[in-house]
Amino acid sequence: MASQSVVSSSPRVLRVAVVGVGLVGGEFVDQLLSFPRSNPFRIVSLSSTKTTLFSPDGLDLSPSTWKQSLTQSGLKPDLDFLSRQLLSLVKPGQDVVFVDNTSSNEVAALYPRFLKYGVHVITPNKKAFSAELSLHESIMSASLESGARFLNEATVGAGLPIISTLKDLVATGDKVVTKIEGVFSGTMSYIFNEFSSGKEGGPSFSSVVKIAREKGYTEPHPADDLNGADVARKLTILSRYVPSLRSALKDGYKSVSTKSLVPPQLEDVETGGEFIRRLPEFDAQFNQMRADAFKEGKVLRFAGVIDVESGVIKADLEKYPTTHPFATALGGSDNIVMFHTERYGARPLVVQGAGAGAAVTAMGVMSDLLKLV
């Protein structure tokens, strides 16, 4: 009788390195440390812009003490050291995950190296996935070569299942035969929900932007939102999941047809405070656009459109009927995305909800991490 061998296996462990512990990164660390003790995650590194912590076997951290431990660390962040250490940790049954919660181009440029050597990459950082096509292709090929995964749900719509929905539609054979359209910017959503409500008149454009800045909905310099680049980046990311458009934007978001709402006279204003001070000079032209839309029974919305049939990808200020979901369904800084596909032809598939905020963005990052378990 043939003898039988018994193979014992250790529980799978995922070693997690986190770079960026600001609003989103800090919330992500809190969520990760709040998981039950039986979870498979071990945080091996935390890095801020000033300090870092590293232990290959896992750091001893708690939700109440990790910030103090990081602040008191005498180690300076060193991406080259961290990458070498993480690559050395990749072993069978021991996955290594690099979580980038920054908005850094420098960090994003490391993704191909991590992926090539088997380190998974998870991030809400839009830079790598909306940059030139060559970087995106390097990320794709490195992932295919090693089997390490890159997951970036939170780059579009914070915690909303927008990227995963599109990936599932494509993977199961649906065709995005007409278009994807949506209000992709929480900042722009808030501004135009307040400014153009479908009623005659309303608050001035400059006052709405000023309040949005005070509430923390805009970047410190509102021009960074009003120039439309954030929406263009998100359209680039989504278009690269549509097979027929995967190579359409050679220069990334810079190839997207984008309408800037920054008055030309304010393009060189260096500070957000000065920008807000001078924006009222241009209220009349925004008021006129709102009045014109009202006469047509429409509202203004800054929307992104990926027209698959024509190949047009644009971020622009559009007019929508007051009965349209972009006029009736949005509140606050909500995002809404409509997928017009072969299967969802008569009625589009709609994903809607909070599209900004540290807690929901960190949730999107956390949901990607759980996909690796």
Residue with the larger pLDDT of the pair 337 and 39: 337
Which residue type is seen at 283?
A: D
Looking at the predicted structure, is the pLDDT value of residue 96 above 90? yes
pLDDT for 35: 85
24 known member of a binding site? yes
Helix axes 205-214, 283-295, angle to 10 degrees: 110
Beta bridge mates, 47: 19, 52
102 known member of a binding site? yes
pLDDT single digits (tens) 165-209: 999 999 999 988 789 999 999 999 999 999 999 999 999 999 999
pLDDT for 10: 56
pLDDT for 217: 86
74 known member of a binding site? no
Looking at the predicted structure, is the pLDDT value of residue 323 above 90? yes
332 known member of a binding site? no
Neighbour count for residue 214 (Cβ, 10 Å): 10
pLDDT for 26: 96
Looking at the predicted structure, is the pLDDT value of residue 50 above 50? yes
What tokens does 39 get? 């979870």
pLDDT single digits (tens) 216-239: 888 889 999 999 999 999 999 999
What span, in angstroms and rounded, lies between the C-alpha atoms of 60 and 269? 46
Where does residue 31 rank: exposed (0-12), middle (13-18), buried (19+ CB within 10 A)?
middle
| H helices, E strands: number in the chain | 16, 12
pLDDT single digits (tens) 234-255: 999 999 999 999 999 999 999 9
300 known member of a binding site? no
In which band, very low, low, confident or very high, does the pLDDT at 13 lie, cut at 50, 70 and 90? confident
Looking at the predicted structure, is the pLDDT value of residue 1 above 50? no
pLDDT single digits (tens) 347-365: 999 999 988 888 999 999 9
Torsion on CA atoms 84, 88, 90, 96, rounded to nearest 10:
-40
CA distances from 326 to 200, 233, 300 (A): 18, 20, 9
| DSSP letter for each residue of 6-30 | PPP-PPPEEEEEEE--SHHHHHHHH
23 known member of a binding site? yes
**What percent of the chain has pLDDT above 70?**
97
Question: Under a CB-based contact definition with an 8 Å cutoff, are residues 366 and 182 in contact?
Answer: no
pLDDT for 11: 65
What span, in angstroms and rounded, lies between the C-alpha atoms of 156 and 154? 5
Query: What are the structural domains of the chain?
Result: 13-158+360-371 (3.40.50.720), 162-355 (3.30.360.10)
Cβ-defined contacts of 198-205 (< 8 Å, 24+): 198/294, 198/298, 198/299, 198/322, 198/327, 199/294, 200/291, 200/294, 202/290, 204/280, 204/283, 204/286, 204/287, 205/279, 205/282, 205/283, 205/286, 205/287
219 known member of a binding site? yes
Looking at the predicted structure, is the pLDDT value of residue 3 above 60? no
215-232 b/e (C-beta count within 10 Å ≥ 16 → b): eebbeebbbebbbbbbbb
271 known member of a binding site? no
Q: Given 3-state DSSP classes, what are the helix, strand and coil percentages for the chain, each rounded to the nearest 5?
A: 40, 20, 40
State the pTM of this model.
Answer: 0.92
Residues labelled as active-site residues: 234
pLDDT for 6: 41
